[in-house]
A and B are shown apart, each in its own frame.
Chain A
Amino acid sequence: MGGRLMHVAATVFRRNLLSLMLAAVLAFSMHAPASAAFYIDRTLGDVPADKRTPVKDPQPVQLLFSFATDDAPNAKAATYLKAYVFAQVEASGRFKAVTETPSENGAILNIAVNNITEKGAAGKGFKVGLTFGLAGTVVADSYDMKFDFAPAAGNPIVTKHIAHRLYTKLGAKSPPENADKAKNVDDAIKTIIRQGIDHGLNDLAADPGFAIAAQATPAPATGQP
């Protein structure tokens, strides 16, 4: 009995540790063991249809994307999410073409995501693992998303900020209130990113500076001759 218990304990600990290491590398909910459940805060949600700001004359744009964890650049997470972010911006319909290299009018959209992890979350996760999930907990990750639009023709940069939140439930604990459960960590982070981009681009589209840029005469590319 004692040997079996030790085996179960070792298995749970190893599984949690491996998941923790993977999540830490990607820095999405760095405290997340395999038994974790992920919840997306409902405060932001998707932009309601009647709140969407249309863009009459979409212009081409160069898209730059970066991801940081606690303000430190996280190139692995950026690489993991880059194609998804490009697809979301393209699908928004707010730009005529979305390219990684300079656009024909010189406009740049910069999306910078900063994942602020809850302090002491790792310790909470290990406590849950060591008690076989009996000492459950919920930890929260904040996502600050910054949208900079540098228009063509030298107009001022338009900046918008969007805040979102991801909850990770570990062990025996009630789910967080005002949050929807995600299928897994991949679904959770992509929902956070999708909703953030939806709101960020909508806020940009509603800004007079964005409209001015769309009306400006396209300037030659600032790229190499």
Chain B
Amino acid sequence: MAAPPASFAAVRHLNTKTHAAMAIGLFTALPGLDKPITVRAAVIRAPGGGTFSAYLADTLREQLRLAGKLDAQSPVSISGELVESRIDEGVAAGNAILAARFTVRRGAMKLYDKTQRAEAHWTSSLIGAIAIPAAERGYSGLFGAIVEQLAADPDFQRATAR
């Protein structure tokens, strides 16, 4: 998996004047969900040998940075926990599911606590050299998808308003 790509939708939601700058808090995963995922003979790992929960944090961090809303000193911080992560890869079709519970806190006060979930479906192939990259793209795209969902969530926007 490669570095998180820019998301126009997420940046547009995050860069409004009403949003406070935010810090990235702790990102974790339910037991077993941070382990590399095997697809046929290949192993899909998070970039840089990190964990999938760290990749989720990196994806959110990148969109906040591009929106000019990343501030490690901000009292508003976002934490996350991977609660579902799966790739089902067959000869003809593949699908993946990713869900994360996000929490926004301002100091000790919890402002937001909600799970975002996304699915991807793709046409697979008998040929591993085609099927494995397709599975990796389908799965890795979900990290951006749930960050876009989070950024677009009116509850999140209210919670992170200045």
Contact = CB atoms under 8 A, between A and B. Distances in A.
Interface of A: 17, 20-21, 24-25, 27, 30, 62, 64-67, 69-70, 72-76, 78-79, 100-102, 106, 108, 110, 112, 119, 122, 126, 148, 150, 221-225
B133 A25 contact: yes
B129 A17 contact: yes
B122 A108 contact: no
Contacts of A75: 1-5, 140
Contacts of A100: 66
The 3 A-B residue pairs with the shortest CB-CB distance in the complex, in nearest-first order:
A223-B68, A75-B2, A110-B8
19 contacts: A17-B129, A20-B129, A21-B129, A25-B133, A66-B6, A66-B8, A72-B141, A76-B2, A79-B2, A101-B65, A102-B66, A102-B68, A106-B15, A110-B8, A119-B123, A122-B129, A126-B127, A222-B15, A222-B67
Contacts, number: 93
B17 interface: yes
A223 B15 contact: yes
Interface of B: 1-8, 11-12, 15-17, 21, 65-71, 120, 122-123, 125, 127, 129-130, 133-134, 137-138, 140-141, 144
Nearest to A77: B2
Nearest to A150: B12
A101 B66 contact: yes
A72 B68 contact: no
Contacts of A79: 2-3, 5
Contacts of B133: 24-25, 27, 30
A107 to B, nearest CB: 11
Nearest to A222: B15
Given A65-B6, A66-B7, A108-B12, A73 B140 contact: yes
A77 B154 CA distance: 32
A150 B13 CA distance: 12
B134 A223 contact: no
Nearest to B21: A224
Contacts of A126: 127
A59 B125 CA distance: 46
B15 A102 contact: yes
A222 B17 contact: yes
